Structures are given as structure tokens and as C-alpha cells.
Amino acid sequence: MASSTHNTRRRLAGLMCALRRDRSGATAIEFSLLALPFALLSFAILETTVTFAAQQVLTNAADEISREIRTGQLTLKNTTKLQFEDKICNEIKIMVGSTCSGLVWDLEAYNAFKDVPKKIPLSPDGDVDATGFGYDPGEENSIVQLRIFYKWPVLIDVMQSSMANLPDGKTLLYASVTWQNEPF
């Protein structure tokens, strides 16, 4: 019986040595352990990159349009509210498509820089409160603020819980420019 136990131990030891040397399934096991974290990290990088690119497009649009207002190229006399919205949409359509369905904007003239709002107007449920938003590019030397909001859809569902900051699961992109019109 002692020799039987000794033989069993020898066989187990030999089997363990053979398993330690056998690497045929190691790559498959390592891949299965790393595939999900790698995919999640790749999706997070992709989602963040696309969102930052959309934010930059929105900021550039605000800068371009504000320059046209500041120099007198866009005024109440030559641009309606609908034409102005179309202009914003044309500037950002490379990222949002031609419908601009999540676009909200406000263009207001003020008497002094201290009167310009500094906070994003949010409703109690956390969405953009567009109450009082208007279209007033101002006159010569007036102080004007353009605020553009876009409700950006989070493209990858896994990222929605960490990237969305609006109640409908979207991310609020925001660009604001304040300036004083030139004499035109």
C-alpha cells in the first residue's frame, strides 16, 4: 500500500511538472482575461476623443460667428433668428449632422460686462433652461454674449453612466464668447 501511495505521488508530481511546461492554452487564457478590459479602455478613449472633437467644433463655431457679429457682418438688419440658427448649424454640421436636433443657443446684448451671465442656466431636473433666450446681436460698441449648447449623445452605452451629465443620458457641450462690438 505504501508503494501504491508513493506511485500516486510520483504520478501527480510528474503530471504537475508536465502541466507547468505545457503552454499551449496560456495565450488563450491570457487573451480572455485581458480582452474585456482592453475593449472597455479602447471604447473609453474613442468616446472621449469624439466628444472632445465635438466640443472643439462647437467652440470654433462660436468664435467664427462671434467675429462676424463683432465686425458688423451679422446684424438684425441682415439676419433673422432662423438664418442665425442655420448659420450655427452649418458651422457644426460636420459633427452633428444636418438636423442639429440637440442645439440650443442664446445671443444677447448687455449694457456692461458685469451684467453678462456667468452660469449655465439649468432647470431643476438638470437640463438646459432656455427660458429668456433670445437673438440680439447688439449695435455698435455694445457688449454681446453668444452661448451655444449642444446635447451630445453618448455613443457607447457602456460609457453613458460616466459621461452623461443630462437627464436624458446625453452630455452637454457648451461654448460661450463675450465681446464688445466694434464701431461699424
Tell me the pLDDT tens digit for each residue of 124-170.
Answer: 998 999 999 999 999 999 999 999 999 999 888 777 778 888 988 89
- Residue 55: CB partners within 8 Å, gap ≥ 6? 173, 175
Instruction: With respect to residue 152, please indicate whether it lies within any of the assigned structural domains.
Output: yes
Instruction: With respect to residue 18, please indicate whether it lies within any of the assigned structural domains.
Output: no
Q: Which domain holds residue 112?
A: 50-180
Domain count, the chain: 1
Instruction: With respect to residue 89, please indicate whether it lies within any of the assigned structural domains.
Output: yes
Model's pTM, two decimal places? 0.79
Q: Give the Å distances, CA to CA, from 91 to 6, 95, 109.
A: 81, 9, 22
CA atoms within 13 A on the CB side of 139: 1
Instruction: With respect to residue 95, please indicate whether it lies within any of the assigned structural domains.
Output: yes
58-110 residue pLDDT tens: 999 999 999 999 999 999 999 999 999 999 999 999 998 888 999 999 999 99
Q: Give the Å distances, CA to CA, from 8 to 13, 37, 179.
A: 9, 41, 87
